[in-house]
Structure 1
């Protein structure tokens, strides 16, 4: 179970997150929704360690941890960014295996075996030796998901996973997220403007509002 307790984040004098409290049970999908500028992406960046909080704490199964200082032996949060952030000069398989070999200290064969298993799970067989520019947008997104999963996180976060996708791909993304919940027992957090999508896939919706009015629906 992931717990956020009294999370506060400021940018200069501007208060973005004010003593935010949130609990995410294991194997559930949480959607974080709200208007632009209310702090959705900031919350995701704090969760992933890309931004440091000003006060508060994160707990995983009752134990405090700092996302900004991840433990390579206990990788808690993984992120699929809106722009995917794939390395354009690396093949699909190299994009996926780079971090597990460098951070988790897996052998090349271990990392490749796991990568191929995940690629198969997300219907990407035969794409291992292609470069990102040779893939469709939906395929690039699935590679980004595989790359995040390869780090064996307990929780997988997505930043606007349906933005700029056509209806068919939007449906596919929803199917993938639900499949990861069922097959991988994966806890997932989705930042999205897409309320319809949020209601389709989420067990819980957390509405971030401007100012201090923040609530769980």
Structure 2
């Protein structure tokens, strides 16, 4: 279980998040929704350690945890970025195995075997030797998810997972996220798409600009 207690985040004199309390239960999906500029992505960046909070604390299974200073953070909280952030000069397999071999110190054989299992599971088994420019948007997203899962995170976060995709792929993304839930993965999804959020979420958290002042 991931808990946020009295989290505050400011940029200069502007407070984006103030005294926020939030709980994400194990195996559940939390959708964070709200209009652009309300602080959804800032909140996700704080959870994933990309931004340092000004005040408050994080707890994982009741134990204090600082996403910002935890250098092996990907093994606790994984993230799938809005634009996927794949390395263009690496193949799909290399994108997925890079962090497990460097951070988790897995052997190349172990990381490759795990990556192939993930690719097969995500219907990308025959794309291992391709480069990101050879993939569709939906395929890039699945590679990004495989890369995050390869670090064996406790929580997997998504930043606007449908925004870079064609509208007709939204249902495919829903099925993928719900499939990971069935496997017990705890997930946090930031989205402006309310219908999508309602279709996948166990809990909804609404962020409003006028509450962040």
Count the aligned residue pairs. 213
Change (3 A) 1:148 1:103: same
1:83 equivalent in structure 2: 83
Deviation, structure 1 residue 213 = 6.9
Any stretches of 5+ residues in structure 1 without a counterpart?
Answer: none
Provide structure 2 residue ranges, at least 5 long, that are not aligned to the other structure: none
The residue aligned with 1:30 is 30
Q: What's 1:48 paired with?
A: 48
Q: How does 1:85-104 map to 2 (within 5 A)?
A: 85-104=85-104
Name the CA distance, whole Å, in 1 between partners of 2:178 and 2:18: 31
Aligned to 1:189: 188
Contact 2:137 2:164 in 1 (8 A): no
The structure 1 segments of at least 4 consecutive aligned residues displaced by more than 4 Å after TM superposition are: none
Q: Following the alignment from structure 2 to structure 1, what is the Cα–Cα distance between the partners of residues 8 and 152?
A: 28
Does the CA contact (< 8 Å) of 2:33 and 2:40 recur in 1?
yes
Partner Cα distance (2:73, 2:133) in 1: 32
CA change 1:73–1:55 in 2 (3 A) is closer
CA drift of 1:20 comes to: 0.2
1:36 CA drift (Å): 1.0
TM-score by length of structure 2 reads 0.97
